[in-house]
A and B are shown apart, each in its own frame.
Chain A
Amino acid sequence: DAGVTQSPTHLIKTRGQHVTLRCSPISGHKSVSWYQQVLGQGPQFIFQYYEKEERGRGNFPDRFSARQFPNYSSELNVNALLLGDSALYLCASRGLAGPTDTQYFGPGTRLTVL
């Protein structure tokens, strides 16, 4: 089975632009979470979606938004890009119900803002 996939792999934008990152979860997984990983740091939680509804939001400005589609894929949108938004954006999907489930991560999208 395919793992979590993300596109694009790399992206270069300039300040003020908008960006859309995409994630496809493992088949059968209904929950998708997004994390931002700045170089040299651990990932920071941005959003979690389950069954197309937002179930959690981290401490990120309103410039960050996301949505989940009927096929459980997800998009992360960032408006008015800042230099500080340069990071690796990770998507993770969850499968089994219950608290002992595991989040599986995709390879990430490397965003560079110039």
Chain B
Amino acid sequence: AQTVTQSQPEMSVQEAETVTLSCTYDTSESNYYLFWYKQPPSRQMILVIRQEAYKQQNATENRFSVNFQKAAKSFSLKISDSQLGDTAMYFCAFRMGRAQKLVFGQGTRLTINP
């Protein structure tokens, strides 16, 4: 079974700083997708960024980028120029190629301080 591990339960940084959230996963599959979701206090789960395993290039979305290390099964999220609105729970998630089931990690609570 696939598992996703987020080893940082909580993180806190100052506004405008850069922060990196860690995620590791375990799978024997070669075709899969990785995601970072953000869940603010409003509870709405919002997709931040996604990465296809077959792509070597790391995904980027504005201030958000990932460091995808396939051999190490690592998928970290970097947030640059952090903003107060980035305060939320962040979940790393895994999905096999054609499946719809997302497997989530335990989450990292990120607080951006003014």
Chain A interface (Cβ < 8 Å from any Cβ of B): 31, 33, 35, 41-45, 48, 50, 55-56, 58, 88, 90, 92, 94, 99-100, 102-108, 110
Q: What 9 A-B pairs come out closest when comparing CB atoms?
A: A42-B104, A105-B45, A45-B101, A48-B100, A108-B43, A107-B44, A43-B104, A42-B91, A99-B97
How many angstroms between the C-alpha atoms of A108 and B89 in the bound complex? 15
Chain B residues within 8 Å of A, Cβ to Cβ: 4, 31, 33, 37, 42-47, 50, 52, 91, 93, 97-107
Task: Determine the main DSSP class of B at the interface with A.
Answer: loop
A-B contact pairs, 11 of them (CB 8 A): A31-B100, A42-B4, A43-B91, A44-B104, A45-B101, A94-B100, A99-B33, A99-B97, A100-B52, A102-B50, A107-B44
| Closest Cβ–Cβ distance, residue B37 to chain A (whole Å) | 8
**How far, in angstroms, from A90 to B46 measured CA to CA in the complex?**
12
Contact assessment for A43 and B45 in the assembled complex, using a CB-CB cutoff below 8 Å: yes
Would A42 and B106 count as touching, CB distance under 8 A? Answer: yes
Contacts of A44 in B (CB 8 A): 104
**B101 in complex: contacting residue of A42, A56, A108, CB < 8 Å:** A56
Give A90's nearest chain B residue, CB to CB: B45
Contact A56 B104 (CB under 8 A): no
Given A31-B100, A42-B4, A56-B100, 15 further pairs, Cβ under 8 A: A33-B102, A42-B105, A42-B106, A43-B45, A48-B101, A56-B101, A94-B100, A99-B97, A99-B98, A102-B47, A105-B44, A106-B44, A107-B43, A108-B44, A110-B43
B99: chain A residues at CB < 8 Å are: 56
Given contacts A88-B43, A105-B45, contact A33 B33 (CB under 8 A): no
In angstroms, Cα B4 to Cα A2, docked, is 31
A48 to B102, CA, bound (A): 11
A39 to chain B, nearest CB (A): 11
Min CB–CB distance B2 → chain A (angstroms): 11
**Most chain-B CB neighbours within 10 Å: which of A31, A35, A94?**
A35
Shortest C-beta distance, B22 to chain A (Å), equals 15
